[in-house]
Structure 1
Amino acid sequence: MRRILLTGAAGGIGSMLRENLLREGEVLRLCDIAPMTAHDGDEVVMGDLADADFAMDVCRDVDAIVHMAGQAKEGPWEKLVGPNLIATTNLWEAARVNGVERVVFGSSNHVVGMYPVGLELDPSDITRPDSRYGATKVFAEAVASLYADKYGIKSFLVRIGTFAEKPENIRALSTWISPRDLAAIVRLGLDADYHCETVFGVSRNTRAWCDNSRAFALGYDPQDNAEDYLAQVDPNAGPQGPVASSLQGGGSAAKEFSGDIDLLRRRVRP
């Protein structure tokens, strides 16, 4: 029996994965700070991963981890440090001590949100986070790399784009990922052979701003394309203005922005 720990299991992505992730011979251990109702066969554990003792306990007898827990939106540092920094270090350390084979991590496209719109990125491009939230995801990717290289824990970093049933604004035509495609790329992280991989969590979008060839080579075969919803997208929906429309992070990049937008457009791949 393969036991998979799913953190953030009560959230939007976690709830979807609960329904779409498992295969025969596997059991989910569901972890969240919020209450959950167990399904048949599920193990439910409530607690805060920022508590090192709790993190150590919840990773015991686990074969793989899908880490989706954390503060999912921009905020002041004091709201991000616990769930996105301390919990991350606790989780990977607990994985090391408990002999967990691999961690599939829900990173974010906001780790590269200060790149110009339309520029195709690949995982080798340096990170340019668009927010404090994005910076915490950069930190987590670095922790994952450390634990892969130094301790042999396979790390699969999914830079999740706009997760929704369908794209609802122009930016999402490039960044959208459907529920079934996100479930598929997380499943890939649980099954594929890799060391430490960074892939983009987007569907097969015609307007995608990323080169996801490594994910395809590992077996990712997305079924959806945001372009199919073009006629339903309101061109005036979502954040507006020169910064939001110029940078891949959209509204996240525009929030609190007081920099030089022309300089950012010129600093493509420093």
Structure 2
Amino acid sequence: MPRPPDQPDVVAVTGASGRIGREIVRLLDRPGRTLRLIDTDLPASTADGPWGDLSDRVELHRASIEDAPAIRAALAGASGVVHLAALSSERPWADILRVNIDGTQKVLEAARLGGARNVLLASSIHAVGFVDAASAATTEVLVARPDTYYGVSKAALEALGSVYADRYGLGVVSARICQFGAEPATGRALARWLSPGDLARLIEATLRLDDGAHHIVWGVSANAPDAFDLSAGRAIGYEPQDDAFAVAFARDGAASPLAPTSAPLDDPIGGEFTDDEHPLGSTF
């Protein structure tokens, strides 16, 4: 359902001070929009924060996604929500359950009660870590095959997004983020890069949705050699513009490690997280 014409453009970002939030918040700042930045660790003012120059259309809310009343207050009146807050790597099950799964449910419930129309959920490649590389390149939406408890939490996040879309008409995008960074790494990581600019484009595509449905898409830039099927993202208006190979070549020239760029086709895309060296629940 489209946002009513009289509803203010208020975009709330959970985990705004985190590794991803500090890169993309400034890219979401625009005239006519209020950014509501939510985290447990926030500066006294935006001038002291990690986001660079921001307009005065910014609100800071110190709140934990584990605290239902606090997160409901923080999301009240938000038209769109970008949910980044989470434990970002493998942890013992009790921690994953408390923060990543229960916390996501609290965010979606608060978004619904607060009147949000659209939500982007930060999922992960680890929700499908046991899928082979060939399937990732040729399948529009992969069935969940998580490689860790962390991956299970992202599969659960996607399931929660689905039920809130179907029950309440929220427009939800679960973005399976692969390797986010200001610049691409090297070797196989090139094919998995998601640039800040492209994540911002994916968020804007989410905020424009008017179908009240759930979509699972790859959080990946337009990297050669097409290691991921990006058709689901393009179907909702996400058109990535950055290419890790072009960036790496401009940065490193002839020294740029353009190959190998992806795992062998029969290898799981979760890589080392699928092997015995990374047991479930270990913080590695």
Structure 2 segments unaligned to the other structure (5+ residues): 1-7, 47-53, 250-254, 280-284
Q: Distance in 2 between matches of 1:168 and 1:78?
A: 32
State whether structure 2 residue 49 is matched by structure 1 residue 5: no
Q: Distance in 2 between matches of 1:193 and 1:80?
A: 32
* Structure 2 residue aligned with 1:125: 142
* Structure 2 residue aligned with 1:219: 237
TM-score normalized with structure 2 length? 0.81
Deviation at 1:42, TM superposition (A): 0.9
Cα distance, 1:179–1:157 mapped onto 2, change above 3 Å: same
* Structure 2 residue aligned with 1:46: 62
Deviation at 1:47, TM superposition (A): 1.6
* Structure 2 residue aligned with 1:173: 190
Which segment is superposed worse, 212-221 or 124-133?
212-221
Q: Distance in 2 between matches of 1:226 and 1:64?
A: 29
Q: Secondary structure at the match of 1:118?
A: helix
- Deviation digits for residues 197-229 of structure 1, max 9, x if unmatched? 111111111133321112223322222222222
One of 151, 157, 171 as aligned partner of 1:134:
151
Cα distance, 1:145–1:205 mapped onto 2, change above 3 Å: same
Which segment is superposed worse, 84-93 or 121-130?
121-130
The runs of 4+ residues in structure 1 deviating greater than 4 Å are none
Superposition pairs for residues 59-138 of structure 1, below 5 Å?
59-119=75-135, 120-138=137-155
Q: Distance in 2 between matches of 1:168 and 1:184?
A: 21
One of 209, 212, 222 as aligned partner of 1:192:
209
> Which residue type is aligned with residue 129 of structure 2?
G
- Deviation digits for residues 146-189 of structure 1, max 9, x if unmatched? 01001111101111110112322323122111111111111111
Q: Secondary structure at the match of 1:3?
A: strand
Cα distance, 1:257–1:45 mapped onto 2, change above 3 Å: closer
> Which residue type is aligned with residue 69 of structure 1?
A
> Which residue type is aligned with residue 33 of structure 2?
E
Q: Secondary structure at the match of 1:138?
A: helix
- Deviation digits for residues 213-263 of structure 1, max 9, x if unmatched? 122233222222222226434979xxxxx99x92211232236468xxxxx
Q: Distance in 2 between matches of 1:202 and 1:91?
A: 24
Q: CA RMSD in A?
A: 2.4
Deviation at 1:104, TM superposition (A): 0.9
Q: Distance in 1 between matches of 2:141 and 2:233?
A: 13
Structure 1 segments unaligned to the other structure (5+ residues): 237-241, 259-270
Cα distance, 1:9–1:80 mapped onto 2, change above 3 Å: same
Q: Is the 8 Å Cα contact of residues 131 and 268 (structure 2) preserved in structure 1?
A: yes
TM-score normalized with structure 1 length? 0.85
Q: Distance in 2 between matches of 1:149 and 1:58?
A: 24
Q: Distance in 1 between matches of 2:71 and 2:235?
A: 33
Q: Distance in 2 between matches of 1:234 and 1:199?
A: 25
Q: Secondary structure at the match of 1:246?
A: coil
* Structure 2 residue aligned with 1:206: 224
Q: Secondary structure at the match of 1:158?
A: strand
Fraction of identical pairs, as percent: 33
